[in-house]
Amino acid sequence: MSKRTRVFVLVASAVLVVGLGTAGVASYMGVDGLGLFAAGASDELAYVPAGTEVIGFADVRQVLDSELGTRLQSRLIPPSQETQDNVFTQTGIDIRKDVDSVVVASLRGEAAGEMPLMLARGEFDQPRIESLLVSRGGEVSHHQNIRIVTLNQPEVGIGFLEARLVAVGNPAAVRLAVDTKTAGTGSVKDDAELMRLVHRVDNGNTWTVARFDALQRRQQFPAQLAAQLPAITWFAASGQIGSGVSATLLAEAKDDQAAQNLREVIRGLLALARMQLGQQPDLASFVNSVELTGEGNTVSVAFSLPRETLDKLTALGAQRPAPPSGVSGRPLAPSNVRPRTIPSI
Amino acid sequence: MSESSLPVAARPAVAAPPAPSLWNAVARVFDLSLGQMIWSRRTIFMAVVLGAPIVLAIVVRIVDASGVTPLRVNGQRVGGTTIFGVLLWWLYLRFVVPVLGVFYGTALIADEVEDKTITYLFTRPVARRAVLIGKYLAYVVCTSLVVLPSIMIVFFLVVPLRDIGPSFLTLLTDLGLLAFGLAVYGALFALVGTVLKRPLVVGLVFAFGWEQVAMLMPGYLRQFTIVYYLQGLVPHAIPSDGITSLLASVFNDAPSAATCLFWLAFILIAALLIAARAIERREYVLGQ
């Protein structure tokens, strides 16, 4: 075999081996295992205990700095945070200035409480936050050498986990997060099922993974709709917010048949939407951008909302008539409003 | 008096080196043929054929990166994974593989006959079937080394990064399927090139005439094609939902994977055995 033939064989084989190797590693470890994406929430996940029902991530800095984020900032985060039920008001953290990214986890069991556990990464003025909380009756304590400040009313704790990382939430949840990290095991990183889905969606600047039954328990879906949906076990979503929004919704059904049924349901809804929006090209283009795929027991819906379509939707929202008011000028009580009916699927 | 000064007839007989074993001979023919195939004029043709999907994939990638949907079916956006599937099944499986099979497979022996160089091979102390098998293996390696990397490049260009991991097993199946397709077509056309006088014409008629027509005909005629069994493996390898269901629906009456594999293996082995037998017995008359 001549030298140039040998070189050709080696180069062609190398392309094959490198390609297969890359795809194989991506299959085994997820795309982030290749280092193609930033670590994102990887470090924070070590604090989140296994058994978490819902987990989400937002790259706050990227979202707020994006074109869409800049335009919608005033709507996403009201300029006035001075409300008593705002956890950030209580802790003195300004989400627009201090926070770079946040992981939100809804825990199970005693540590769950009413508030999810939030792990915020950014620049925090610890002395100022502590003094603010203490001035409001907060108590400083240490747990596993981590400084935690706890407020009793409302019950909220803030733990200074690392130089740029704080945990905010139910005090029991904050302590559990510290314990989980210290133990080195028992975090969601050890939950293979959940992490498998996290790896599928963590390429966006916002993502969430949830056990579907947890969403149903929390009434995140209308009861009528949930009752008609096929058996779904997991729900995940990934979004990339820039000048517009592109998102992927992923559902894992109990079995292949349930997934097939869900795909049929979505196809029907898309067909219905296409029929309804035929006269509105902008919105029709959005519906046409929806990509329904799936394999086995998974169903995936991807779509993109470009800036123009978002503007159109915003304009349509503004044109919508105000809800009917009673004689006193106050909105009608819910019992007087005709309930929305969901068409039988 | 030295031996060299003796008349030739008087010199002691020198024992001829022993003939190499069949597989040694196959290895030598393979080694010789691989280089010839890779650097032949056909390679330029192959580069053009395989460059087209890569160019197409680059266009898809650029269009997608610019925020425009590269492909829609019935107004619905078609994703990168599905585009890759379409390229693979329709471009590679239905066109590239048969074309390479015809051009390379029929030329294995026919080219040597046409160039009147087959005599040099047949006068060597190697079994004739070793020439055929060595050349056939060189064909399989040569085409696989060009086709499979091309698919790999198209895969990474078209499939979104997040789908690369989940598509790994499908990719492996695709690569295996195409390599098997190249081997089966190559064996059949090697047989054609061994026994027929105008093998290229016959090969083209078979691949792009008979196979296309038979696949459209109702009834059992399609069972006498290779593409029927190759496509029979398609539904087992592609996702059965979404836009790809359009593809899957085309292959509705596909036989089982085991049946397809059996018949493809049968065609490959039978074609090679018949070709080997034919080359051992046939007298090639080299025209002026």
Q: What is the pLDDT of residue A273?
A: 82
pLDDT by position in tens, chain B (length 288): 454 555 555 555 566 666 677 788 888 888 888 888 888 888 778 888 888 888 888 888 887 776 666 666 655 556 677 788 888 888 888 888 999 889 888 888 887 877 778 778 778 777 888 888 999 999 999 999 889 999 999 998 888 776 777 778 888 888 898 999 999 999 999 999 888 878 888 888 988 888 888 888 777 888 888 988 888 777 544 444 444 445 545 555 678 888 889 999 999 999 999 998 888 887 776 665
Nearest Cα residue to A186 out of A46, A40, A43: A46
Give residue-wise pLDDT tens across range A105-118.
988 776 677 788 89
B31, B82, B145 ranked by CB distance to A1: nearest: B31
Give ∠ CA B201-B207-B210 in degrees, rounded to 5: 95
Burial class (CB in 10 A: 0-12, 13-18, 19+), A281: exposed
Kindly state whether A4 is in contact with chain B, defined as any CB-CB distance less than 8 angstroms.
Answer: yes
Residue A342 in this model has a pLDDT that exceeds 60: no
Kindly state whether B167 is in contact with chain A, defined as any CB-CB distance less than 8 angstroms.
Answer: yes
Whole-structure pTM value: 0.57
CA distance A28 to B258: 28
Q: What is the pLDDT of residue B240?
A: 42
Q: Give the residue from B46, B76, B155, B159 with the most A CB atoms within 10 Å of its CB, the best one to mutate.
A: B76
Copy the structure tokens of residue A333: 């009580």
Based on DSSP, count helices (H) and strands (E) in chain B, helices before strands. Answer: 15, 2
Residue A327 in this model has a pLDDT that exceeds 50: no
Contact between A26 and B164 using a beta-carbon 8 Å cutoff: yes
Residue A317 in this model has a pLDDT that exceeds 50: yes
Least confident of A74-88, A138-152, A216-230, B81-95: A74-88
Residue A330's pLDDT band (boundaries 50, 70, 90)? very low
Residue A256's pLDDT band (boundaries 50, 70, 90)? confident
Copy the structure tokens of residue B43: 């390679």
A27, A292, A306 ranked by CB distance to B242: nearest: A292
Distance from CA of B287 to the nearest CA of A (A): 31
- Map tokens 């304009």 to a residue: A315
Q: What is the pLDDT of residue B139?
A: 92
The one-character DSSP state at A187 is B
CA distance A49 to A27: 25
Contact between B242 and A294 using a beta-carbon 8 Å cutoff: yes
Residues of B within 8 A of A290 (CB-CB) are 76-77
Nearest Cα residue to B93 out of B171, B175, B158: B175
Residue A137 in this model has a pLDDT that exceeds 70: yes
Q: How far is CA A109 from the centre of its chain?
A: 21
Distance from CA of A2 to the nearest CA of B (A): 7
Contact between B38 and A31 using a beta-carbon 8 Å cutoff: no
ipTM field: 0.77
Q: Give the residue from B28, B68, B77, B247 with the most A CB atoms within 10 Å of its CB, the best one to mutate.
A: B77
| Contact predicate A119/A148, CB 8 Å | no
The one-character DSSP state at B226 is S
Q: What is the pLDDT of residue B74?
A: 56
Residue A306 in this model has a pLDDT that exceeds 80: no
Distance from CA of A181 to the nearest CA of B (A): 28
> Which carries the bigger pLDDT value, residue A79 or residue A247?
A247
Phi/psi of residue B29, nearest 5 degrees: -65, -40
CA distance B131 to B274: 14
Kindly state whether A9 is in contact with chain B, defined as any CB-CB distance less than 8 angstroms.
Answer: yes
Q: What is the pLDDT of residue B241?
A: 42
Kindly state whether B119 is in contact with chain A, defined as any CB-CB distance less than 8 angstroms.
Answer: no
- Map tokens 């008001």 to a residue: A89
The H or E element that residue A209 is part of is strand A206-211
Residues of A within 8 A of B146 (CB-CB) are 12
